[in-house]
Structure 1
Amino acid sequence: MRQRATQSPRLLALGEWLQPRVQRMRHWRWQWLVVLPALALGYALLLVPFTPSISDIRKAKLEQPAQVLTADGKELALFKRSNRQWVGLDEIAPSVVKALIATEDHRFYEHHGMDLWRTAASVWHSLRGDLQGGSTLTQQLARNLYPEEIGRSASVNRKLKEAITAFKIEALYSKPEILETYLNTVPFLYNAWGIEMAARTYFDKPAAKLSVLEAATLVGMLKGTSYYNPVRNPERAVARRNTVLAQMVKREVLTAAEFERLKVRPLRLDFERQEVPSGMAPHFAQQVRKWLIDWADSHGYNIYADGLVVHTTLDARMQAWAIQAVRNHTRTLQGIANTNWSKRDGWNPDNPLVHSLVSETTAYAALREKGRSSQEALQELLGDKAFLQQLRQDKLRLEAGFLAMDPGTAAVRAWVGSRDFAQDAFDHVQQARRQPGSTFKPFVYGAALQSGVPADAQRVDQAVEITLAGGEVWRPSDASPPSGRSMTLAGALAYSKNTITAQLVQEVGPAKVARLARNLGVRSSPLEAVPALALGASPVSLLEMVNAYGSLARGGQYRAPLLVTRIEDRQGKVLAEFAPHPAEQVWDEAENYALVDMLRGVVDKGTGRDIRRRWGIKDDVAGKTGTTQNNADGWFILMHPELVVGAWAGFNDGRITLRSDHWGQGARSALPMVGDFTAQALRSKLVDRHARFTPPESSHWWASLADGVRRQMQAWWGEERQPPAPVPDRTPPPVAVPAPVTPTPDSDVIEESTPPLPASQLPPAPPPSDALDAWMEQWAPPPGTAPDWEQTPPAVLGRPVEAL
């Protein structure tokens, strides 16, 4: 009583307030065991909408990838999630299933998606510092099927999503179906997904014939495919394999005697990487995939599971002709490059360029990291013959890009992004940005027409000096000295005269040239409005250039390229149809026709005359050649009223060239691919040979008259020879490679302005045999003669030559 009396009234009041509340908490202490699980359950229910739906799981099990077809019904590609071949559970060796269940989830047939005992044990061990996974096979399957929806982070949130999805899977499918799906979706490195592709990759046999040792090796990889990779880490793989065998003994699916016999066996691999089938147009298919993913996402479809059927604009016959044309001609060019870059003539340790290429390799960087000086690392690699040979092979692999479009609709008909997709997946049609050389000149002459300068206006072929912003002077020149004579703009474009082109860009201004090029189709690549733009100094893509020429063939109307025409579901119901993009009139039709008429002169008498002389094409066509500084890039684009075709040839590294003033020109490196393809397309019924570029109704009467006279002359000329016969798709006999020609350093030479050869000196039509390349060699002008070429200015004139 004395102690109570000494306490202050305030403390007494606080005690009286706390006492009933403490008693209530004691009353609720057992109910927390109910409240906490209820809260956890409520949180789990909130996560349900953020996990894959039942329909998504059904799709994943069925998985019907989108099928991509050409315009003429040929299969172009299948958009699968991965490189996988689905096999039934009865087509998988029983030892695989036994090893899998014994190692990964021995209570698989007892739980319903989540093993509570295993989960509790993993939590207990993890709290003690021994991290362990507690996921069942069903939970692993959920994570493999939906990595984005579930995630990979080690969090409670992810584990709950994984468990919820596992319960959904168990509710939908039987245990054998879950096992089958798991074994067909698990990754095994080297682009192999699923047990069938893994068996073929590591042991070169189907999954049905895997032995117990092989099954244990593959199942052992699932703990960490990279760490237990049997190719790179065989000791770890054997140790892990034996762990799997021990687990099989523990679960009584393998006897102890068998384990003792098997655990000492060596690892015997028969490794072969499984390549993904690339199809006839892999680069085109990649563009379609990117577009289709966006379309499917916005319309609620899955390109891997909904069985979409995609009809594209690509023509299988034209694609085959394009592949053949690229293959045949680049084979010849590759032989020339190999000869001109022999050890004696360029590829040797004394070449400064070889020094630069070596110093850019990862091997050089690795030696530098080990403490070697730059000179020591360089000398060591220059003395490694195997290294230099591989570097030479990689750097001297000539590449090409090829594109054909229907100018009326801007539909893509053929697309070859590289010589071999397996060797070089880089797309030289859409991804590559290279200087276009003189193929850019039509935009200069078009800008002049826009400014009121007619095609028959005269300009003097004389030396030109242009002072650049930095005070440097640009002096563009041609293959021969200026003649001092007058020449029409049409003639200057036909013979690709640099001097007159430079005069024109001064008159109209580079900004106007860039604006016209953008309006017609060069809309992705930046164009520098500098004088050097006139000769193609700003890198662009082949897709942009061909589409821009398509705008010219379309009467000055721009259309965006068209790749897909229709999408259907698996039953054939049309889900969407796609018409050509709206036409945008970006240029006066009469001025546009005047430029097309000028480009006719390029193939009639100018730098592209081999289209008529060698390939026998007498139809109404127009085009332009292009060659960049030091022959780094060769271009040719040809227009027909129903077909526009363009090609590029060169090396991925712009410092590498053919080292030949003759073969490095666009008229020799790119034009033959276009000529070969176009000749075949015109012989077929796919293109109307009678189609003509027609002048607009508002044109003067003499334009129609001149066009009629020209067509009649072309018809007379064409009766003197037949078009070349189709070339069989087989390897031609060896050809005589011309001796290497050393190019003139820092040459500004452009296409020659010599007149065409007289009829008595014209070569005969190509023979109908597989010796086309030999024929080309026979009738090619000898090395040292004046070349048909044009070159862009050096880097100082606007933009450097870019290496891809």
Structure 2
Amino acid sequence: MTSEVKKKSITKKIITALWIVFFGGILAISLFIYSISINLNGWYGELPSLKSLENPKSDLSSVLYFADNVEMGKYFRYNRSQVTFDELSPNVVNALIATEDVRYIEHSGIDLYGLGRVFFKSVLLFDKSSGGGSTITQQLAKILFRTRSDLSNGSLNDVPVLGLVIAKMKEWIVAVKLEQSYTKKEIIAMYLNTFEFGSNAFGIKTAAATFFNTTPDQLKIEEAAVLVGLCKNPNLYSPVYEPKNAFHRRNTVLGQLHKYGYIDDIAFDSLRAKPIELDYDVKNHNDGLATYFRGTILWDLLAWSRENGYDLYEDGLKIYTTIDSRMQKYAEEAVETHMAYQQKLFDEHWDGQNPWRDEEGNEIKDFLINEAKKTTYYKQLKKEYGNDEDKIFDKLNEKKPMTVFSWEGEVDTVFSTIDSIKYFKNFLNTGFMAMDPHNGHIKAWVGGINYKYFKYDHVKQGRRQPGSTFKPLVYAAAIDNGYSPCYQIQDVPVTFEVVGDPPTWTPSNSTGRYTGETMTIRQAMAQSLNSGTAYVMRKIGPETVVNYAKRLGIESPLQAVPALCLGTSDVSVYELVGAYSTFVNDGFYTKPFYIDRIEDKNGKVLKQFVPKTGEALSSETAYAMLHMLKGATELPGGTALGLDRELRTDNEVGAKTGTTQNFSDGWFMGVTNDLVAGAWVGGDDRSIHFKSIALGQGARMAMPIWEIFMKKVYADEELGITKGKFKKPSNFSIQLDCEEYNRQQMNLTDSVEQVNQFDVDGIQ
């Protein structure tokens, strides 16, 4: 055989071998990919099912809405909201394609040309700047289905190099499936909705709001370039924490836009010279309107979600509340305006002295030490140092930098734990709630002065002695049992027999004296005379009052004792506002509620909430109580005569102030035809209070909040809250004309003097 023939034979064998290797390689790769797709012997880990590809799971924030469809806040593990492709600015789409996948429109999930380029430059030429070969679809597959996480691991994934190859193959398979299941536009939107941009911003909608206070459809070219730049590495190119890196990365993206013709020379030169201008704001539950309300409703939503098989933090629920964003804003402004002023009065009143006092007015010893022992930090130190109190309190007195609340804004200071307790205990706090009495919808909720620093909610969570604001519940029980607002009493001492030492109890008026005057119970309630309420309590008995209070929605424990008539049992603002609303609602109690409906992420109504209601009083009693409450704003000596005349002009206003015995609690309840609202003001600790009734009364501490709020509400015509008269029942027969009532009483067998005598049979 000649040498030429031998050469041809060898060449043929080589070519044949190469073809065998080529086709064998293709076959081997195909079998390898197929074995991965079916997870042969559990070697590779499961791939997403077709069903999951059609409905890919991504954690969606649940969104809370005001009644007027304004977004209130979110509940999330990852702060994410979705947008459609049509809601994206072309600037974002162009920047993403130009930077991450310039042949995105042409390939079907895998860019073979890009892979070839990476292989040639990286493997053959050792060029580390060649970039990656992953397409946008592959990146989405990796993020969405966590192909490289432990959740998809098989027994071969831990093998060095092989594990990485398996993961990459999985991304290819999922990418191709995604391309088959979705349009190019849908994949772009899904990628941008899924990516974590840093600063707790998951998805382009949240990122646009966090970094630039805008929406995805309004992003400018340079803003889009910053956000797309984060897709390479959110930490390394953060415009907040790595501004230089972010600037260079943004310009790289701008360079890609220029390279592929999305922007011209002039635009490129202009934009790359501009500094990054952020409008940065990371959303959290301490910010925005209705922070206390959001904290309260959370527990209801968690319970509902658990009972109905939803995850509040992942399933993108839409919760529509009854709170009105405008009224909430007015309520928070009213609280801020008055409480800043009230705090100034309080600080001047004590003039540097500690306000925690016992019943004799003496400073409570070891108050700060006892408060420190309630803290989590003390309990941690207790575990570390045991019973060594000296070491524990050395740590508690150790100074450290911290930021504290003030009415002029946050203040950076150096405090010890004991210092901070002393500082914060000097603040007065508040709770305020307003509701529509006709349907039970709560319209505004302010649980305190600042949610970030004072988490305790004083609307529903907090319960304090209501003082005289409980008296209308006593009078309501009496009127529903046949008494008239014109029923006459005398302002004289009323004594009860009680168990204990001494065996009797005689409540005194706030002034400490009695006038002896004969007056109607309407006058007595208007002036908030304790003698009048005590007399009525003695006539109808404490058990009757407790029964009616429960019918009016008071769920807090009430002691059936004579002192209950002065509001000695703790109740909440939430409960009292609900009770007073019964008077406006024709005697029907409607439990205050705040969730209107819950929808899923697609807008399907999952639950429509309806108020719980029931008849508590006759409609005649309810209207008579409105007449009683108006006495505070109409009669001489009425405790609410100080209300701005503007609110009382062409308007019927019922009101009741409340002050506890040591001035720890100041209350005000205001009732109009469209809105019922109540406010409490006091120290977080009952021992913290004003020294005298001059400043420590409900008319000074709490009434201005209601007054400021209502003036703002009436000024906003869009709310539809108008001045007017209370609706009188058509069958009303209770005599409100006291002169006529007295003439009728003269015809009865008993004289007025006999009516005013004490009925010992009523003592309980």
Matching residue's letter, 1:636:
F
Classify 1:627/1:122 alpha carbon distance in 2 versus 1 (closer, same or farther; 3 Å).
same
What does residue 632 of structure 2 align with?
Answer: 602
The aligned runs of 1:73-152 (5 Å cut-off) are: 74-77=70-73, 82-84=78-80, 123=155
Q: What residue identity is the alignment partner of 1:373? A: D
Residue from 370, 385, 388 that aligns with 1:356: 370
* TM-score, scaled relative to structure 2: 0.61
Task: Report what 1:445 is aligned to.
Answer: 475
Per-residue deviation, 1:676: 1.9
Letter in 1 for 2:589: Y
Matched, 1:327 2:364: no
Tell me whether 1:665 sits opposite 2:664 in the alignment. Answer: no
- Change in CA separation of 1:662 and 1:354 when aligned onto 2, cut-off 3 Å: farther
Secondary structure in 2 aligned to 1:410? Answer: coil
Counterpart residue identity of residue 589, structure 1: S
Report the CA distance between 1:125 and its aligned residue.
9.5
Q: Return closer, same or farther for 1:181/1:474 CA change in 2, 3 Å cut-off.
A: farther
Structure 1 307/365 Cα, relative in aligned 2: closer, same or farther at 3 Å? Answer: closer
- 1:53–1:418 distance in 2 versus 1, CA, 3 Å: farther
Q: 2:542 aligns with which of 503, 510, 515?
A: 510
Among 334, 346, 349, the alignment partner of 1:337 is 346
Q: How far apart are the structure 1 equivalents of 2:95 and 2:715? A: 50
Question: TM-score of the superposition, structure 1-length normalised?
Answer: 0.58
Distance 1:310 1:624 in 2: 34
Tell me the amino acid that sits aligned with residue 649 of structure 1: V
Out of 366, 376, 389, which is 1:374 matched to?
389
Q: 1:462 aligns with which of 493, 507, 514?
A: 493
Confirm whether residue 276 of structure 1 aligns to residue 284 of structure 2.
Answer: yes
The 3 A distance-change label for structure 1 pair 611 and 696 is: farther
Residues 1:690 and 2:720 are matched in the alignment: no
The letter of the residue matching 1:412 is I
The one-letter amino acid of 2:369's match is: H
* Residues 188 and 652 of structure 1: CA distance in aligned 2, closer, same or farther (over 3 Å): farther
Residue type at the aligned position of 2:585: R
Q: Secondary structure at the match of 1:603?
A: helix
For 1:658 and 1:274, the matched residues in 2 are separated by: 39
Q: Does 1:407 align with 2:416?
A: no
Q: 1:642: Cα distance to partner?
A: 1.9
**Residue 391 of structure 1: SS of its match in structure 2?**
helix
Percent of residue pairs bearing the same amino acid type: 29
- Following superposition, the deviation at residue 635 of structure 1 comes to 1.1
Asked if the contact 2:552–2:616 (Cα under 8 Å) also holds between the matched residues in 1, the reply is: yes
Distance 2:209 2:443 in 1: 36
Displacement, 1:671?
A: 0.4
2:587/2:617 contact within 8 Å kept: yes
SS across alignment from 2:677: strand
Question: For residues 350 and 567 of structure 1, do their structure 2 counterparts lie closer, same or farther at Cα, with a shift above 3 Å needed?
Answer: closer
1:450–1:195 distance in 2 versus 1, CA, 3 Å: closer
**1:518 counterpart SS class:** helix
Calculate the aligned-residue CA RMSD, in Å.
Answer: 5.8
- Amino acid in the other structure paired with 1:374: E
C-alpha distance in 2 between matches for 1:353 and 1:308: 45
Q: For 1:539, what is the secondary structure of its paired residue?
A: coil
Distance in 2 separating the partners of 1:299 and 1:306: 12
1:505-541 per-position Cα deviation (integer Å, ceiling 9, x unaligned): 3442322212212212224x33333333322233222
* Secondary structure of the corresponding residue to residue 650 of structure 1: strand
Preserved contact between residue 309 and residue 567 of structure 1 (Cα < 8 Å):
yes
Displacement of 1:597 after TM fit? 1.9
Deviations 1:444-484 (A, max 9, x none): 12222334344313255215354247987655333333427
Aligned to 1:254: none
- Residue-by-residue CA offset, 1:144-186 (whole Å, 9 max, x unaligned): xxxxxxxxxxxxxxxxxxxx99998797569998899688658
1:194 positional shift: 6.5
Matches within 5 A, 1:265-664: 274-276=282-284, 278-284=287-293, 312-346=321-355, 352-371=366-385, 373-374=388-389, 377-378=392-393, 381=396, 386-387=415-416, 388-455=418-485, 456-462=487-493, 464-468=495-499, 474-483=505-514, 485=516, 487=518, 488-523=520-555, 525-563=556-594, 581=611, 583-604=613-634, 605-606=636-637, 608-612=639-643, 617-618=648-649, 619-659=651-691, 661-664=693-696
Q: Give the C-alpha shift of residue 652 in structure 1.
A: 3.0
CA deviation vs aligned residue, 1:563-589 (integer Å, no higher than 9, x gap):
466778999x99599697475222122
Q: Distance in 1 between matches of 2:538 and 2:168?
A: 72
Conserved? CA contact 1:190–1:273, under 8 Å: no
8 Å contact from structure 1 (residues 593, 696) kept in 2: no
Unpaired runs of at least 5, structure 1 = 1-35, 141-163, 222-229, 232-269, 708-804
Q: Is the 8 A contact 2:321 2:596 kept in 1?
A: yes
Query: Which position in structure 2 is the counterpart of 1:733?
Result: none
Partner Cα separation in structure 2 for residue 413 and residue 124 of structure 1:
59
Aligned length: 593
**Compared with structure 1, are the counterparts of its residues 360 and 577 closer, same or farther at alpha carbon in structure 2 (3 Å cutoff)?**
closer
Which whole-Å CA distance do the structure 2 matches of 1:631 and 1:516 have between them?
27
In 1, the alpha carbon distance for the partners of 2:314 and 2:690 equals 47
SS at match of 2:432: strand
TM-aligned CA distance change 1:111 to 1:655, over 3 Å: closer
Structure 2 residues not aligned, in runs of 5+:
1-37, 83-87, 102-127, 214-221, 242-277, 358-362, 400-413, 742-764
The answer as to whether partners of 1:401 and 1:649 remain within 8 angstroms in 2 is yes
Deviation at 1:423, TM superposition (A): 3.6
